[in-house]
């Protein structure tokens, strides 16, 4: 009798209507519009965005919405249905490392875009916060797409690529969170029924069809609800190690290391102080980028049904590399992945930055509930907090709802 419910994604129009009412309540006028941006899961390609790598994310149906009006003056007023922290300030209050808290993700985008005017906004997020599903990018990108739309910035893919850069700036500089760009690109550039092959070296994004349902598949997200912290020292240590490897190998990023030359590169970094750890970090990055290009080849050239097992094996390989070489998993993520595999997953891996957060499992259609129940039982048996589950259906990128 272990019944498991998947966290639903509310209807965009319903949320937009609610937010419009809430905006009127807060500010005494209807908003100029409502926009929203999705959270994401990364199918494969983890911890390679900051070294020119490849990743393959898709957008979740779970979104963050914002009702917003651009002001004539420099005042900024912000509210969120997920926070008691209300902001009422000026454009000049926004800059590197200020203001503190969630407001930085929203107001930081106006700063990064150089919008010379303030705005009023109310936010409602349906991406679980701090679960590795990128609620932070859903927030910054929802505000970003609203500001872009209202100030006449283009929202074609090139415009969205530029906007993603501004949202990265908001997170890195204003919120002080170290993120590489995967989340913002996914939230802004993905389309329904597809993922994107994001090339973090040249910024290009290619649509990759991902008709899971049509292939008799589904992807279950297991939010372990274990703490994760990107701004923590671990993330910085990984980035520093990767940069050190690139420096030792004389390449701008580890993307330049040909997988066929990996052994030679490993020998080179292995002679340095701390060489054993550098070797592990290097091996993860180079093999992971290679797994992403294999996954993209599988998805582009074939009927998904016929390559599901091979895709699953790549997901498994990714997780093992993140577990043993990059060392960014944790008890909860490993248990989620191991249990999902034992329950019949074609493949499973952590997704997002790691150290907690979420895992994904590639499953045969109709098996999510049973696999979720097995994972829930395993967590209970291990004395861990109950995980939360979501269905990951490739959904649309950021846009206007009302």
Residues that bind ligand ADP (CB under 6 A): 64, 80, 82-83, 102, 105, 123, 125, 129-136, 139, 177, 230, 352
DSSP 280-314: HHHHHHHHHHHHHHHHHHHHHHS-HHHHHHHHHHH
CB-nearer residue toward Mg ion: 184 or 368: 184
64, interface contact from ligand ADP, Mg ion, none, CB < 5-8 Å by kind? ligand ADP
CB-nearer residue toward ligand ADP: 39 or 317: 39
Stretch that binds Mg ion, among 78-86, 115-123, 133-141, 296-304 (CB under 5 A): 133-141
Stretch that binds Mg ion, among 132-140, 320-328, 330-338, 394-402 (CB under 5 A): 132-140
Backbone angles phi, psi at 363, to 5 degrees: -130, 160
Closest CA to 222 of 327, 126, 128: 128
Angle at the Cα of 42 (from 266 to 344), degrees rounded to 5? 95
Given a contact cutoff of 8 angstroms between Cβ atoms, the answer to whether 308 and 352 are in contact is no
CB-nearer residue toward Mg ion: 141 or 269: 141
Q: Check whether the bond before 101 is cis (ω within 30° of 0).
A: no
321, interface contact from Mg ion, ligand ADP, none, CB < 5-8 Å by kind? none
CB-nearer residue toward ligand ADP: 186 or 210: 186
CB-nearer residue toward ligand ADP: 127 or 254: 127
Query: Of residues 196-225, which lie at the interface with Mg ion (CB under 5 A)?
Result: none
139, interface contact from ligand ADP, Mg ion, none, CB < 5-8 Å by kind? ligand ADP
Q: Does 142 bind Mg ion (CB under 5 A)?
A: no
183 tagged catalytic: yes
Given a contact cutoff of 8 angstroms between Cβ atoms, the answer to whether 142 and 131 are in contact is no
Torsion, CA 87, CA 89, CA 92, CA 96, rounded to 10: -20
> Within a 10 A sphere around the Cβ of 396, how many other Cβ atoms?
17
Beta bridge partners of 95: 98
Q: Does 136 bind Mg ion (CB under 5 A)?
A: yes
125, interface contact from Mg ion, ligand ADP, none, CB < 5-8 Å by kind? ligand ADP
Closest separation in Å from C-beta 134 to Mg ion? 5
The helix (run of H) or strand (run of E) holding residue 320 is helix 304-324
**Distance (Å, whole) CA 309 – CA 298:** 11
CB-nearer residue toward ligand ADP: 352 or 376: 352
131, interface contact from ligand ADP, Mg ion, none, CB < 5-8 Å by kind? ligand ADP
Which string of b and e fits 196-212 if b means at least 16 CB within 10 Å?
A: bbbbbeeeebeebebeb
190, interface contact from Mg ion, ligand ADP, none, CB < 5-8 Å by kind? none
CB-nearer residue toward ligand ADP: 42 or 64: 64
**Distance (Å, whole) CA 191 – CA 211:** 12
Closest separation in Å from C-beta 335 to ligand ADP? 20
Q: Which of 120, 124, 149, 183 is catalytic?
A: 183
Q: Measured at CB, which residue is nearest to ligand ADP?
A: 125
Closest separation in Å from C-beta 276 to ligand ADP? 30
Torsion, CA 48, CA 53, CA 54, CA 57, rounded to 10: 40
129, interface contact from Mg ion, ligand ADP, none, CB < 5-8 Å by kind? ligand ADP
Angle at the Cα of 232 (from 226 to 234), degrees rounded to 5? 90
Closest separation in Å from C-beta 133 to Mg ion? 8
Question: Beta strands 217-223 and 388-391: pairing type?
Answer: antiparallel
DSSP 16-60: HHHHHHHHHHHHSS--SEEEEEEEEEEEE--S-GGGT-EEEEEEE
Q: Does 187 bind Mg ion (CB under 5 A)?
A: no
CB-nearer residue toward ligand ADP: 55 or 217: 55
> Within a 10 A sphere around the Cβ of 137, how many other Cβ atoms?
32
Closest separation in Å from C-beta 225 to Mg ion? 15
The CA radius of gyration of the chain, in Å to the nearest whole number, is: 21
- Known catalytic residues are 183
- Interface with Mg ion (CB under 5 A): 134, 136
């Amino acid at each position: 009798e272990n019944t498991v419910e998947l966290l639903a994604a509310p209807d965009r129009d319903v949320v937009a209507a609610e937010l419009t009412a809430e905006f009127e309540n807060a500010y005494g006028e209807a908003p100029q519009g409502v926009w929203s941006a999705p959270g994401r899961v990364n199918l494969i390609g983890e911890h390679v965005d900051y070294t020119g790598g490849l990743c393959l994310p898709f957008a979740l149906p779970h979104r963050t919405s914002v009702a917003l009006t651009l002001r004539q003056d420099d005042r900024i007023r912000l509210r969120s249905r997920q926070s008691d922290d209300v902001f009422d300030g000026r454009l000049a209050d926004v800059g590197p490392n200020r203001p503190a808290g969630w407001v930085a993700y929203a107001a930081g985008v106006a700063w990064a875009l150089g919008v010379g005017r303030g705005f009023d906004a109310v936010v409602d997020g349906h991406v679980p916060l701090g679960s590795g599903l990128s609620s932070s990018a859903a927030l910054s990108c929802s505000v970003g797409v609203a500001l872009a739309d209202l100030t006449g910035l283009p929202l074609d893919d090139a415009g969205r690529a530029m906007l993603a850069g501004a949202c990265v700036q908001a997170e890195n500089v204003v919120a002080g969170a170290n993120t590489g760009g995967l989340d913002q690109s996914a939230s802004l550039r993905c389309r329904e029924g597809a993922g994107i092959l994001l090339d973090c070296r040249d910024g290009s994004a290619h649509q990759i069809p991902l008709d899971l349902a049509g292939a008799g598949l589904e992807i279950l997200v297991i939010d372990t609800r274990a703490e994760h912290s990107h701004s923590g020292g671990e993330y910085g240590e990984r980035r520093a190690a990767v940069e050190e490897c690139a420096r030792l190998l004389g390449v701008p990023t580890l993307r330049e290391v040909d997988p066929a030359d990996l052994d030679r590169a490993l020998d080179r970094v292995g002679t340095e102080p701390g060489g054993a750890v550098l070797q592990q970090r290097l091996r993860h990055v180079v093999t992971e980028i290679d797994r992403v290009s294999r996954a993209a080849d599988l998805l582009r050239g074939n009927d998904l049904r016929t390559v599901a097992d091979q895709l699953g094996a790549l997901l498994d390989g990714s997780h093992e590399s993140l577990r043993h070489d990059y060392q960014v998993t944790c008890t909860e993520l490993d248990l989620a992945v191991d249990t999902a595999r034992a329950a019949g997953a074609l493949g499973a891996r952590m997704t997002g930055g790691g150290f907690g957060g979420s895992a994904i499992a590639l499953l045969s259609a109709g098996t999510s509930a049973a696999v979720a129940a097995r994972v829930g039982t395993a967590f209970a048996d291990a004395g861990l907090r109950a995980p939360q589950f979501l269905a990951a259906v490739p959904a649309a990128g950021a846009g206007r709802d009302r």
